[in-house]
Structure 1
Amino acid sequence: MELPQIRLFSQTAKIQLNIEQPKQSIEQPPAELDLQQPPAEITYERTPAQLTIDQTKAREDMDLKHISKRIEEFAQLGYQDWLEGMTRVAQEGTELMKIENGGNPIVDQAKRRSERPYRQLGITWIPSANSVSVHFEPAKIKLNVKTNKVINNTRPQKPIHEYRPGKVNISMKQYPSLSIDFVNLKYKGINYEQEI
């Protein structure tokens, strides 16, 4: 039995892509470097240190006195002894003047003159403590620093940039198609038969 058939044949569309890749090149020339650093200007003022050692007192304690000091001490000692002598002579004269009041002033005076004062014994330090005077002034330094700025004449270089964009060409590799075929259909009049 022959059945009427409708046959459909289809062909899908195919697209073809032709791609041209982009190209890019970047080149960076080095910068022209020009740096100068002027040296700093330094000036300073220096006050030297001073060390003063005074050992006059220590030398006096060891009886190594300067001649002017000895003359001054001898003059002071002579003046003191003269005052004490005048006082003693005046006192003894007063005692002898009042001999009538009793007592024995001549014997008393002779006894006083013959007695010497006792010397005191003890430990003494020669030279005495803190007899050397030390004075120190440290050095002083005043610095004046003048800094100079960097002279920068550096010139940067622009990068060399080349770019070629890519391209995409689209074309039809295969067009779509549809074919319809009728099999076992019979004509009835001017139309095909409608019933099967």
Structure 2
Amino acid sequence: MNIPKLQINSTKAQIGLNIQKPVQQIEQPSADLDLQQPKAVQTMKTTKPKLSIDTEQARADVDLKSVRKRMEDFAAEGHQAVSEGTVRRAQQGTELMRIENGGNPIASQAKQSGRQHYSSLGIKFIPSQGSVKVNFQPGSVDIQIEPQKVINNTSTNKPIHNYTPGKVKVEMLHHASLTIDWLV
């Protein structure tokens, strides 16, 4: 007995993909750097120190006087001697004028005039202490600094971005087919 048979033939569909990959390019340009630092403004004021040393008295103590000082000293000694002589002569004249009061003024005056004065022996430090006068005025320094701000003109650059999207192209290489047949 022949039984009819059903015969089915199928063919799968075949798809073809044509892929074009995407292209991406990114570039970052460097920043444009523009920095400037102005110099600080500096002002400086100074006062000079002053030192004065006066050795006039010390030089006079060791007999190193200037001509002017010597002349002043000689004039003062002469003036003093004249004054003392005038006083002595006036006293002696007064004593002689009053001779009637008694005493022997001529002999006493001769004794005083004939006696030598003795100088005292003593230790003298030359130059004397404190004869050099030192005066010092310290100086000063005033420094003023004014800093200047930084001038920043730096600019950034945006990235350069190029993007080409990819493509996918789909095509049918073989269509699906179905064949149904009866076999007797």
Aligned to 1:144: 144
Per the alignment, residue 61 of structure 2 pairs with 61
Deviation at 1:81, TM superposition (A): 1.1
Report 1:47-196 matches (<5 A).
Answer: 47-156=47-156
- Cα deviation, residue 117, structure 1: 2.8
TM-score norm. by structure 1 comes to 0.60
How far did residue 35 of structure 1 move?
Answer: 2.2
Question: How many corresponding residue pairs?
Answer: 136
Q: Give the secondary structure class of the aligned counterpart of 1:148.
A: coil
Question: Counterpart of 2:4?
Answer: none
The secondary structure found in structure 2 opposite 1:73 is helix
AA aligned opposite 1:68: R
Hey, what's the Cα distance between the residues in 2 that align with 1:70 and 1:86?
A: 24
Query: How far apart are residue 159 of structure 1 and its match?
Result: 8.3
* 1:28, distance to aligned residue in structure 2 (A): 8.2
Q: Deviations over 1:143-167 (max 9, x none)?
A: 232321111223356789xxxxxxx
Normalising by structure 2, we get a TM-score of 0.63
In the alignment, residue 145 of structure 1 is paired with which amino acid? I
Listed as ranges, the gaps of 5+ residues in structure 2 are 1-26, 161-184
Offset, 1:140 = 2.5
RMSD between aligned residues: 2.6
Distance 1:155 1:68 in 2: 82
Q: Give 1:116's aligned amino acid.
A: Q
The code of the aligned residue for 1:96 comes to: L
Equivalent-residue separation in structure 2 for 1:46 and 1:117 (angstroms)? 60
Distance 1:159 1:57 in 2: 89
- After superposition, the C-alpha distances for 1:11-43 in whole angstroms (9 at most, x for unaligned) are xxxxxxxxxxxxxxxx98765443221111223
